Amino acid sequence: MNTTIDSDRLAVKTTELTRRFGDLTAVDHVDLEIPSGGIFGLLGSNGAGKSTVIKMLTTLLAPTSGTAEVGGFDIIKDPAKIRGRIGYVPQLLSADGALTGYENLLLSAKLYGLPRPERSARIGEALTLMGLTDSARKLVKTYSGGMIRRLELAQAMLHRPAILFLDEPTMGLDPVARHAVWDRLQDLRRDYGMTVLITTHDMEEAEALCDELAIMHTGRIAVVGKPAELRTRLGASATMDDVFAHYAGGGISEGGDFRDAVQARRTARRLS
């Protein structure tokens, strides 16, 4: 393959990426190219395969067949190299409530091998950027949902990853907190040149935040394009919801198994 030059510019490139769970093909021969330096949205109903793609790209799950390159490294051959170069914010609010914001960040700094002299400067910078300096010494269980999300962003950016993965980053947040997260993601892209990959099923988020989108349906990529492009393709008055309904097969509320619902509810509970 003569793609070496191209793949240097690509943050992620998947090649027939496939994952089966028993009889279910969660991700089915996905070919996806995500350019560096943008915010890319992976959309789809619950159960469309978004989270499984993210798990494979973040080296949590091995593909059944096919492969992918993340930051120029193969997910099967070089998972350890990828781990040092990506940041990850899981769907659930996973910062440790029994620790302070600072302690959460310090743990990340150590696990990511930041040299001791740099740790406090990096932590301070991340706290400032996320607007959490005043709350750094408070226990995370006293934080609001939006603050926990921003803390997790701070944790994920501490080691200056080339690519940031976020699974449903604003699910369950109120509109103000949601916009704050969007603004911070745009800062990270602009100031640090990070590539941001998010999954969402929120069309407003997709349109407001993403440079480019891929919509998944039953494990396959249904369409890839810029939000405005996708809308005009369907007609002058088409909204993003129409685009989603068209490509993701049916209404937004469809799909999703019991486990997704339970998880979503659990997140919502933690936020309230």
Partner 1 sequence: MDRFFRESSAVAEVELIKLVRDPTELLSRAVQPVLWLVVFGQVLAHVHGIYTGEVGYLAFITPGILAQSVLFSAIFYGIAVIWERDLGVVHKLLVSPARRSSLVFGKAVSAGFRGVVQAVVIYLVALVMHIPVRHELRAIVGVLALVLLGSGLFSTFSLIIACIVKTRERFMGIGQLLTMPLFFASNAIYPLELMPGWLRIVAQVNPLTYLVDALRALMIVGGESVRGYPVDFAVLLAVFGVLLMVAVRLYPTLVE
Residues from 101 through 140 that contact partner 1 (CB under 8 A)? 103, 106-108, 110-113
Binding mask 18-57 for partner 1 (x = CB under 8 A): -------------------------------------x--
Rule CB under 8 A: say whether 223 interacts with partner 1: no
DSSP secondary structure of 100-156: BHHHHHHHHHHHTT--HHHHHHHHHHHHHHTT-GGGTTSBGGGS-HHHHHHHHHHHH
Interface with partner 1: number of residues (CB under 8 A): 28
Q: Where are the alpha helices (DSSP H) in 197-252?
A: 203-209, 227-234, 240-247
**Whether 95 contacts 158, CB under 8 Å:** no
From candidates 5, 98, 176, 236, binder to partner 1 by CB under 8 A: 98
**Whether 206 contacts 43, CB under 8 Å:** yes
Structure-token pair, residue 142? 């006293």
Rule CB under 8 A: say whether 94 interacts with partner 1: yes
Minimum CB separation from partner 1 for residue 29, in Å?
Answer: 20
Q: How far apart are CA 89 and CA 47, in angstroms?
A: 19
Nearer to partner 1, 17 or 203 (CB): 17
Residues from 60 through 89 that contact partner 1 (CB under 8 A)? 60-61, 80, 83-84, 86, 88
Residues from 135 through 164 that contact partner 1 (CB under 8 A)? 155
Q: How far apart are CA 205 and CA 30, in angstroms?
A: 23
Helix (H) or strand (E) holding 185: helix 175-192
Nearer to partner 1, 94 or 186 (CB): 94
| Residue 238: C-alpha distances to residues 84, 217, 234 (Å) | 41, 20, 6
Nearer to partner 1, 150 or 231 (CB): 150
Minimum CB separation from partner 1 for residue 149, in Å?
Answer: 12
- Give contact residues for partner 1 (rule: CB under 8 A): 55, 58-61, 80, 83-84, 86, 88, 90-94, 96, 98-99, 103, 106-108, 110-113, 155, 266
